[in-house]
């Protein structure tokens, strides 16, 4: 359906139980993520950005409410099925990078492809192509522990994009890179958006990122601030 949001959340809640404390990390969040656009989730530290991304990316179950993907509710789907959807549709850039430090840039980038029905030779070619796009051709066979912070971040970006996902979920993607590399990363996203109608959902308070977003959603204490979007779509 035209104009159907690619993802929608309906009255979403996430409550964490830590020791004796209850944290309402996401409170009654109903939002629409437009397809083929860039949405930025902003808000201060602890406002629930990473939690909302984890819910949207089907990495964790909500305490209440629903995540609707392409018009279908994901409530009640098994972990196996959710994993299949994640592998097929999503690419992730996490706030903590989760790279394997003793493996090379190439090996880290290939990993998501190994879960797919693709030969090792084709997977290697695909991974090298995306590493080249991120100016890492000289670092393909370096182990991640031998890379600079910015280079490691670019391996994270490569790993997220290597499966040609339709939705990229990126948590603070500019956290470990300088403004020049952020600019290049954003240019790459714009190209992918135009070529493959990539939908991008980022959490960030970086003005460079907020500036290029088509839609901005601001969180405060786990809820959408004012319940309104600051940029129309």
Ligand X SMILES: Nc1ncnc2c1ncn2[C@@H]1O[C@H](COP(=O)(O)OP(=O)(O)OP(=O)(O)O)[C@@H](O)[C@H]1O
Residues found near ligand X in the complex (CB under 6 A) = 16, 18, 23, 25, 43, 45-51, 95
> DSSP of 71-131, one letter per residue?
TEE-TT--HHHHHHHHHHHEEEE-SS----TTSBHHHHHHHHHHTSS--HHHHHHHHHHHH
For position 38 contacting Mg ion by CB under 5 A, the verdict is no
Q: Give least dist CB 49 to Mg ion, A.
A: 5
Q: Give least dist CB 19 to ligand X, A.
A: 9
Q: Give least dist CB 182 to ligand X, A.
A: 17
Residue the block writes with tokens 């135009």: 194
State which residue, 56 or 110, has the beta carbon closest to ligand X. 56
Identify the helix (H) or strand (E) that includes residue 25. strand 21-33
Question: What single DSSP character describes residue 143?
Answer: B
User: Could you tell me which of 48, 39, 89 has the C-alpha nearest to residue 189?
Assistant: 39
Q: Which does 46 bind (CB under 5 to 8 A by kind): ligand X, Mg ion, none?
A: ligand X
Q: Give least dist CB 103 to ligand X, A.
A: 26
Identify the helix (H) or strand (E) that includes residue 54. helix 49-56
- Residue of 50, 104, 109, 153 that binds Mg ion (CB under 5 A): 50
Q: Residue numbers of the site for Mg ion (CB under 5 A)?
A: 49-50, 95
């Amino acid at each position: 359906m035209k104009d159907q949001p690619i993802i929608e959340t309906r009255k979403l809640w996430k409550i964490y139980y830590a020791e004796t404390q209850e944290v309402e990390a996401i409170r009654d969040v109903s939002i629409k993520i437009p397809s083929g656009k860039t949405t930025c989730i902003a808000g201060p530290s602890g406002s629930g950005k990473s939690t909302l991304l984890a819910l949207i990316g089907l990495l964790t179950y909500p305490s209440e409410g629903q995540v609707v993907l392409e018009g279908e509710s994901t409530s009640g789907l098994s972990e196996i099925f959710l994993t299949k959807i994640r592998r097929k549709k999503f690419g992730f850039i996490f706030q903590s990078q989760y790279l394997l430090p003793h493996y090379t840039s190439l090996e880290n980038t290939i990993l998501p492809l190994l879960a797919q029905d693709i030969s090792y030779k084709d997977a290697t070619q695909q991974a090298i192509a995306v590493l080249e796009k991120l100016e890492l051709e000289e670092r393909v066979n370096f182990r991640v522990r031998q890379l600079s912070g910015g280079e490691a971040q670019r391996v994270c970006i490569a790993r997220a994009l290597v499966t040609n996902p339709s939705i990229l979920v990126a948590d603070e993607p500019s956290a470990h890179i300088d403004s020049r590399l952020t600019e290049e990363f954003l240019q790459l996203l714009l190209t992918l958006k135009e070529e493959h109608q990539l939908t991008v959902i980022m959490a960030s308070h970086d003005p460079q990122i907020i500036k290029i977003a088509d839609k901005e959603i601001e969180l405060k204490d786990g809820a959408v601030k004012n319940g309104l979007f600051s940029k129309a779509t």
